Structure 1
């Protein structure tokens, strides 16, 4: 059963009542609407389709507007359309009507079946019975992709206009284990981190901002790594422009710490995790209020995290 009985808009947006700050928290992969055309064309049941969903991440961060950030969250399933992709990442193996086009992007993500319109939800887990028509794909792009990214871009531009700087926190979740190289009989590997911060190896945001985020999350008791195994996706690569004072940081939360990955149900500790993330977000925003008049340095970040 899907969350919406009628066709929802591309995203929801929650704005602070007061005390707005130059922060946007975006959740592109937690959408819970599975359209009828997806379900009828898929060989998978809804529960299996949901295995690619960043389940409940929007709810983990639903308090950030209380401390000054805008929260924008996609409504539609990631299996239907992936907002964290370049719009040119279309898969000719999946979509009719792409022959002869020279504007496509042949990325590793497309080759893995994880383009704008995903072909799989995981290794050896194809979604569709057959190929899709290009008209259907363009409809999804126009109805969902364009409105979400237009709004996200406008929110960041508004931050620049008002404050001269903008911070985008792109919020995701990750499975607790990853498939190993198929050429080696290694099975799956456990991710030894609660949270992975991705700044595209220092290119999508100020490294000191990443260091500050890491310090504050560690203070909340999370085990944190940077960039491995997730350095950032299209959103951080596309919007992060530190030289223009737009800083984009991806945050990946280990699903195993807040939900049962088999039943897809939240654990009893769900709201404790949410409270810790809320305190992190509030501290991060407060630190930037003070840091706006001070140089970004690792020492400054460590001092704030220790207070």
Structure 2
């Protein structure tokens, strides 16, 4: 099967899938002039996750990620447009505001329902077709598998959450998408690392975690939302094109990468039958 060029799919044979839905920054040329600025349409990306997780290629892990910016379409949102966090500020399937609440589009340039449906067909559907295909393939090989949905976000975004976000935010849809035992094992490793952490706090898992997680069916889905300060320096105060994103530095990221290796060890080897 020929997958679209905007998708990176690396099939592996281990019982683990790494999904990276928000690291893309590509803005199609036909849409570029409709955004207030290219920088703003890219600023809320999960910066540098392919570099942060590049060690997984040696673990025979399946990797799925998209190059398309989440400002074009967010493949981790319910395609019906229903909010995953009712009553709380969040961004939608085809966001019209950034994380800080600023308009992404020039007046009158936001997509209508027909265009949103078109974007779903072009970018959303192929991502999920690939996820479904790889989940089905690996379930045929293993009694149980883990879908690890990787994310990151700035540590302070008052519109989205109060105060400073813990560095490690594990989400399993309040326990519905993965076994409590696996979540406890991951949380214990976060705790031992010295990084601040929480389970099923502000970020409980998005559409990918909630839609595919089925522990009874042998599919354990976990989201990890990393606060960016865990691996890069964050500016103080509002972000600007001059201050964000900050550069990736392998030495700066080494401690969190050590933790991620430890988390992946648990996903690959922890007993999933309990």
**Both proteins in one fold, TM over 0.5:** yes
The offset of 1:211, in angstroms, is: 0.8
Alpha-carbon deviations, 1:165-209, whole Å to 9, x = none? Answer: 12100000022013168xxxxx96212x21100011111100111
Larger radius of gyration: 1
User: Does 2:171 align with 1:198?
Assistant: yes
Find the aligned partners of 1:214 and 1:158 in 2 and give their Cα distance: 28
TM-aligned CA distance change 1:286 to 1:106, over 3 Å: closer
From 263, 268, 275, the equivalent of 2:244 is: 263
TM-aligned CA distance change 1:110 to 1:132, over 3 Å: farther
The offset of 1:138, in angstroms, is: 2.5
Conserved 8 A contact 2:15-2:268: no
The offset of 1:139, in angstroms, is: 2.5
> Could you tell me which residue of structure 2 aligns to residue 52 of structure 1?
44
TM-aligned CA distance change 1:265 to 1:279, over 3 Å: same
> Could you tell me which residue of structure 1 aligns to residue 240 of structure 2?
none
The offset of 1:242, in angstroms, is: 1.1
> Could you tell me which residue of structure 2 aligns to residue 4 of structure 1?
none
Find the aligned partners of 1:113 and 1:275 in 2 and give their Cα distance: 28
- Structure 2, unpaired ranges of 5+: 235-242
User: Does 2:143 align with 1:164?
Assistant: yes
Find the aligned partners of 2:209 and 2:85 in 1 and give their Cα distance: 17
> Could you tell me which residue of structure 2 aligns to residue 71 of structure 1?
63
The offset of 1:277, in angstroms, is: 4.2
User: Does 2:144 align with 1:144?
Assistant: no
- Please list every run of at least 4 consecutive aligned residues from structure 1 whose deviation after the TM superposition is greater than 4 angstroms: 106-113
> Could you tell me which residue of structure 1 aligns to residue 237 of structure 2?
none
Find the aligned partners of 1:127 and 1:279 in 2 and give their Cα distance: 36
TM-aligned CA distance change 1:87 to 1:165, over 3 Å: same
Find the aligned partners of 1:110 and 1:128 in 2 and give their Cα distance: 24
Conserved 8 A contact 1:80-1:118: yes
RMSD: 2.5
> Could you tell me which residue of structure 1 aligns to residue 163 of structure 2?
189
Find the aligned partners of 1:271 and 1:107 in 2 and give their Cα distance: 30
- Structure 1, unpaired ranges of 5+: 1-7, 90-104, 182-186, 297-307
Conserved 8 A contact 1:258-1:266: no
Name the TM-score, length of structure 2 as normaliser: 0.85
The offset of 1:124, in angstroms, is: 2.9
The 5 A counterparts of 1:1-307 are 9-16=5-12, 20-43=13-36, 45-89=37-81, 105=82, 112=89, 114-129=91-106, 130=108, 131-179=110-158, 189-191=163-165, 193-261=166-234, 262-268=243-249, 269-273=251-255, 275-288=257-270, 291=271, 296=274
The offset of 1:127, in angstroms, is: 0.8
Alpha-carbon deviations, 1:126-161, whole Å to 9, x = none? Answer: 111214244432332111111100110111111211
State how many pairs are aligned. 260
Find the aligned partners of 1:110 and 1:148 in 2 and give their Cα distance: 28
Alpha-carbon deviations, 1:258-284, whole Å to 9, x = none? Answer: 224433123544441463145224422
